[in-house]
Amino acid sequence: HSLRRATSASQQSITCRNLSSSSTPHRKVAVLGAAGGIGQPLSLLMKLNPLVSQLSLYDIAGTPGVAADVSHINTRSEVMGYVGEDQLAQALEGCDIVIIPAGVPRKPGMTRDDLFNINAGIVKGLCTAIAKYCPNALVNMISNPVNSTVPIASEVFKKAGTYDEKRLFGVTTLDVVRAKTFYAGKANVNVAEVNVPVVGGHAGITILPLFSQATPQANNLSDEVLTALTKRTQDGGTEVVEAKAGKGSATLSMAYAGALFADACMKGLNGVPDVVECSFVQSSITELPFFVSKVRLGKNGVEEVLGLGALSDYEKQGLEALLPELKSSIEKGIKFANQS
Ligand code: NAD
Ligand code: LMR
250 lines ligand 2 (CB under 6 A): yes
Q: What's the burial of 2, exposed, middle or buried (CB within 10 Å: 0-12/13-18/19+)?
A: exposed
Q: What is the DSSP letter of 277?
A: E
Rounded to the nearest integer, the mean pLDDT of the chain is: 94
188 annotated as ligand-binding:
no
For position 193, what pLDDT does the model report? 98
Cis peptide before 151 (omega within 30 of 0): no
**Could you read off the pLDDT of 108-155 as tens digits, one per residue?**
999 999 999 999 999 999 999 999 999 999 999 999 999 999 999 999
DSSP secondary structure, 313-329, as one string: HHHHHHHHHHHHHHHHH
Residues 6+ apart with CB under 8 A from 300: 164, 166, 167
The model's pLDDT over 48-82, given as tens digits with 9 standing for 90+, comes to 999 999 999 999 999 999 999 999 999 999 999 99
What pLDDT does 316 receive? 98
Q: What is the pLDDT of residue 340?
A: 65
Instruction: Tell me if 35 CB under 6 Å of ligand 2.
Output: no
pLDDT score, position 11: 44
Percent of the chain with pLDDT over 90: 92
User: Residue 247 and residue 241: Cα distance in Å, rounded?
Assistant: 8
Q: What is the pLDDT of residue 1?
A: 34
Torsion of CA 332, 285, 267, 264, to 10 degrees: 60
Q: For residue 36, how far is its CA from the centre of ligand 2 (angstroms)?
A: 14
Query: Which of 315, 159, 181 is closest to 256 using CA atoms?
Result: 181
Instruction: Assess whether the C-beta atom of 145 lies below 6 angstroms from ligand 1.
Output: no
What DSSP string describes 161-230? T---GGGEEE--HHHHHHHHHHHHHHHT--GGG-B--EEE-SSGGGEEE-GGG-BS--TT--HHHHHHHH
Active-site residues, by number, are: 202
Q: Is the CB of 174 under 6 A from ligand 1?
A: yes
> Would you call the peptide bond into 145 cis, given omega within 30 degrees of 0 as the criterion?
yes
ipTM over 0.85 threshold = yes
> What is the pTM assigned to this prediction?
0.95
- List the one residue out of 6, 53, 61 whose CA is nearest residue 34: 61
- Our answer on whether the CB atom of 144 is closer than 6 Å to any ligand 2 atom is yes
Residue 100 has pLDDT above 90, yes or no: yes
Question: What gap in Å lies between CA 193 and CA 305, rounded to an integer?
Answer: 23
Instruction: Tell me whether residue 5 is annotated as binding.
Output: no
Determine the atom of ligand 1 nearest the C-alpha atom of 171: 41
Residue closest by Cα to atom 34 of ligand 1:
105
Query: What is the DSSP track for 74-125?
Result: -SS-EEEEEESGGGHHHHHTT-SEEEE--SPPP-TT--GGGGHHHHHHHHHH
Say what the pLDDT of residue 14 is: 41
Q: Ligand 1 centre and the CA of 336: distance in Å?
A: 19
| Shortest-distance atom of ligand 1 to CA 174 | 40
The phi-psi region of residue 164 (left if phi > 0; otherwise alpha if psi is between -120 and 50; otherwise beta) is: beta
Report residue 8's pLDDT band, with 50, 70 and 90 as the boundaries.
Answer: very low
pLDDT in tens, 151-180: 999 999 999 999 999 999 999 999 999 999
Count of C-beta atoms within a 10 Å radius of residue 225: 15
The Å distance, Cα 128 to ligand 1 centre, comes to 18
How do residues 264-320 score in pLDDT, each as one tens digit?
999 999 999 999 999 999 999 999 999 999 999 999 999 999 999 999 999 999 999
Mutate to test the pocket of ligand 1, among 142, 147, 253, 280 (most ligand atoms within 8 A of CB): 142
Instruction: Give me ligand 1 centre to Cα 13, in Å.
Output: 33
57, 235, 286, 289, 334 from 326: Cα distances, Å:
32, 16, 11, 10, 12
Please give the number of the atom of ligand 2 that sits closest to the Cα of 105.
Answer: 8
Percent of the chain beyond pLDDT 70?
93
Q: Whose CA is nearest to atom 3 of ligand 2?
A: 237
Cα of first residue to Cα of last residue in the chain, in angstroms, is 33
Question: Residue 23: its pLDDT value, please?
Answer: 82
